[in-house]
Amino acid sequence: MKRTWRFAIVLLVLTTLVHFGCSDEEKSSSGSGRSKRLPDAEELSPKDAYAEMQTNKDLFVLDIRSIDDYERSHIAGCVLIPRGMLKTAIKDNSLYPKINRGRTPGKDQPILIYCKKGRKSRTGAKVLYSLGYSDVRIIKGGIKQWIADGLKVEGSAKATSSPASADEATTQPSVDESP
């Protein structure tokens, strides 16, 4: 009898681990019930992200932190959609009209996403991939690393470290403001 209970408990634990241990997988958008692994977003250093912003005017820069964090510091020209609202607001962006001006990315438009330290950006990228966005990148280390690397931010708590070069001291990252 004890042996049967032990076996049942072990089987239950293993089944639970298999079921909940597959958190990196999402249901496919085909609705077939089969799951597929979503790609990992490419991580860019803040300086590489800044260079990409200067050369790729189609790049959609997305801040997924809270409004309070955004007001303290943010990358110029970014769109603010907090991570918890990403699934619904990315399609029809009516959040924070003065900041976002209704801007939403196209499914094939390159998206550069950032958070405070870079960890939550991975989750945000997975959400975007699951919604059909195909070109998602992350700023490695988030806004904290961006500031530590001396790149400019806007907001009430601007960077205190010196920029890496004189060009970066006078140039704000620019992003195409059109929807």
CA 136 to CA 38: how far, in whole Å?
12
pLDDT band at 136 (very low <50, low <70, confident <90, very high): very high
pLDDT tens for 52-78 read: 999 999 999 999 999 999 999 999 999
Hey, how many other C-beta atoms are within 10 angstroms of the C-beta on 104? 16
Domains of the chain in sequence order: 40-170 (3.40.250.10)
pTM: 0.68
CA atoms within 13 Å, Cβ hemisphere of 3: 0
77: left (phi over 0), alpha (psi -120 to 50) or beta: left
